[in-house]
Structure 1
């Protein structure tokens, strides 16, 4: 079977992996011919190129910049994507007839590309719903409820309409889509939780990595990932401020995003010497760091009205460390965490409960170990890339 992945973020094999590289490799491992069309931002100064990456046919398409840029520039680049992607696919994958096209959100503008391939090749289409846009942007005040919102909402509805099957992160996501998009047939929706290629080896903690990053003899809570408005890390800084006099406690934040510089300035202004803000580190270092940290942090903006399920949870589960979460009231992430018995959750903005949960984990090593083991078990049973692959193939084979 020829499978086409339409992707915004698809790291080169030498630079790490993500949900989608793992899934594409799983399709390849099961005997499918895999093609990937992904964004190559203009800022890198490289031309469109097609290359073999670990058996995958990866087409990196030069287009506008989408990450760490202003809203207007990002919006214009997003709108331009479909035409550029169609032209590149026709040029570089000429003569290839696809049996399945898979695409995630963001962005919703992939709808027209997916529909074009679907009609041209009479193939199936599968939407992996990870961001519910434009409502998430509206929640954060990034766009208003005017004509811009209406335009993107129209594209969102089109995306759902042209997709044969829609994989949702959680039951809350399924219900949200049904409630707000009554034109969508229930049978289209599939529960497709975030997944991970799980390391089955039992690796010993790399204690040396703590010394490398200046964390020796520290109790470390780690946050890794995007540093933007969706995470509302200002609330995490409020927690860190309560422990600024505790030299043995450190908050490690790793990542990049639109809020990074502002957060750096705020950390300095608040004199939070217990907060270490690092840009993205090598994947091997990040994995090693998670393995020696004591708590994995999940943060979501209090203003969200849509259910979000952060994928960084998977790394914490794999490392067997407990999760401390501060999330909005709309997400069902807390329910998932409770089902897994893998961490403690509170509502973003409720600082006292956030502090109490931190204290419970800080003071009780046996609790941390038990919650960490539970998270690893939950990952192994429910969230592997093999299960994601099986879910998609099964759903498609049923029509």
Structure 2
């Protein structure tokens, strides 16, 4: 198939979304499909730039900057982004390209106009990969009320849904958000698990044995450190475990809360906690080889269901998880059913401490724990399955709306 994949993140960025889309594009190419990734590119001067990336094409289209700017400017820039991309696509060598399917990745919620234009010109189906139920999660977190800003973002999101023929959500629990969308008989909703490719084997720039955590059992958190993660309780846990010289906590990544968390750890003199900036994703397996338990954190105010990309990386590397997540999240039952770690849904440091100590004992005594982790990854989260599922959904010939 000739497929257009639309997103707003991709290498050289190091976000979890960029890694996912890198792995997805590689697998489309491996399975013999002709893929072109369409990306907004605020830093280039020319209207378009066509590149080759591991068997796929990447078309970078000049568009307004949407990252690391004030919220009001970001909203205006994201609203303008798909129109700028479409205008510059029409100046590129792919202006007349006919697609067999259009796939797009949310976030962002603003790709709808571009997707709709490509679907109509190619008379093909569209598959929305939705990893982020926005603006609902922002309301859950108290970052937004249900006033005018919410109604604006909700209208944008609903338009995006309206141009999709198939929507792939992360977990069964997210189906409820699409009950009204499904009322049209030509629409399909399915669970599309998060995915990862086989890891590269790059030597990690972080040497745990050269830090204050040398010789300890290490709990590692690698990924975004922002409001949505609710990570303060992890520092509370570290403080509770300071009396155990055999245990340490390693935090690797960046985000809106990273500087504050680091300053808090220093203020509280947590000598069992070490922070590092984000590393190349290819170094992650080598990092985890030096650790014992992976940490998953989601703010308890979330009401949607989420299986973070870092959970997949832990499973892939055979690391059991200690999770502090919102009550009722499908991830909690998955961890318990598969026996790949311990999970706290109460957001209480006392309970989290008890589960952490229980998991440390389990790491010592349960010889099958690591194997269950890797088996779960291969069965549910391998990228080969993801591409096959998307292609199957797009292959049914339905006249685009």
TM (normalized to structure 2)? 0.90
Q: Give the CA deviation at 1:300.
A: 0.3
Task: Name the residue aligned to 1:106.
Answer: 107
Give the match's secondary structure for 1:391. Answer: helix
Inter-CA distance 47–228: structure 2 relative to 1 (3 Å threshold):
farther
Q: Could you list the per-position Cα deviations for residues 13-38 of structure 1 after superposition, in whole angstroms to 9, with x for gaps in the alignment?
A: 99996111111111111222111112
Give the match's secondary structure for 2:289. Answer: helix
Q: 1:227 aligns with which of 225, 228, 231?
A: 225
Task: Name the residue aligned to 1:311.
Answer: 309
Quick check: 1:376 aligned with 2:374? Answer: yes
Inter-CA distance 155–358: structure 2 relative to 1 (3 Å threshold):
same
Task: Name the residue aligned to 2:168.
Answer: 167
Q: Give the CA deviation at 1:371.
A: 2.7
Task: Name the residue aligned to 1:195.
Answer: 195
Task: Name the residue aligned to 2:327.
Answer: 329
Name structure 2 gaps, 5 residues minimum. none
Task: Name the residue aligned to 1:266.
Answer: 264
Cα distance between partner residues in 2 of 1:41 and 1:330: 39
Cα distance between partner residues in 1 of 2:390 and 2:19: 18
4+ residue runs over 6 A deviation: 13-17, 44-47, 205-208
Inter-CA distance 285–169: structure 2 relative to 1 (3 Å threshold):
same
Cα distance between partner residues in 1 of 2:220 and 2:62: 34
Name structure 1 gaps, 5 residues minimum. none
Q: Could you list the per-position Cα deviations for residues 270-290 of structure 1 after superposition, in whole angstroms to 9, with x for gaps in the alignment?
A: 222221121111233322111
Q: Give the CA deviation at 1:327.
A: 0.4
- Greater RCO, 1 or 2 (C-alpha within 8 Å, sep 6+): 2
Quick check: 1:278 aligned with 2:276? Answer: yes
Q: Give the CA deviation at 1:132.
A: 0.3
Cα distance between partner residues in 2 of 1:140 and 1:189: 26
Task: Name the residue aligned to 2:57.
Answer: 57
Task: Name the residue aligned to 1:39.
Answer: 40
Cα distance between partner residues in 2 of 1:186 and 1:137: 30
Q: Give the CA deviation at 1:365.
A: 2.8
Q: Which has the higher mean CA deviation after the structures are superposed, 133-142 or 45-54?
A: 45-54
Q: Give the CA deviation at 1:367.
A: 4.8
Check whether the contact 2:204–2:283 (CA below 8 A) recurs between aligned residues. no
Cα distance between partner residues in 2 of 1:240 and 1:283: 25
Check whether the contact 1:219–1:294 (CA below 8 A) recurs between aligned residues. yes
The correspondence of residues 285-296 of structure 1 with structure 2, limited to 5 A, is 285-296=283-294
Q: 1:340 aligns with which of 334, 338, 341?
A: 338
Q: Could you list the per-position Cα deviations for residues 128-150 of structure 1 after superposition, in whole angstroms to 9, with x for gaps in the alignment?
A: 01000111112222222111100
Alignment root-mean-square deviation, CA: 2.7
Q: Could you list the per-position Cα deviations for residues 196-225 of structure 1 after superposition, in whole angstroms to 9, with x for gaps in the alignment?
A: 1135x9x8x989943355542121111111
Q: Give the CA deviation at 1:329.
A: 1.4
TM (normalized to structure 1)? 0.91
Give the match's secondary structure for 2:83. Answer: helix
Inter-CA distance 107–264: structure 2 relative to 1 (3 Å threshold):
same
Task: Name the residue aligned to 2:148.
Answer: 147
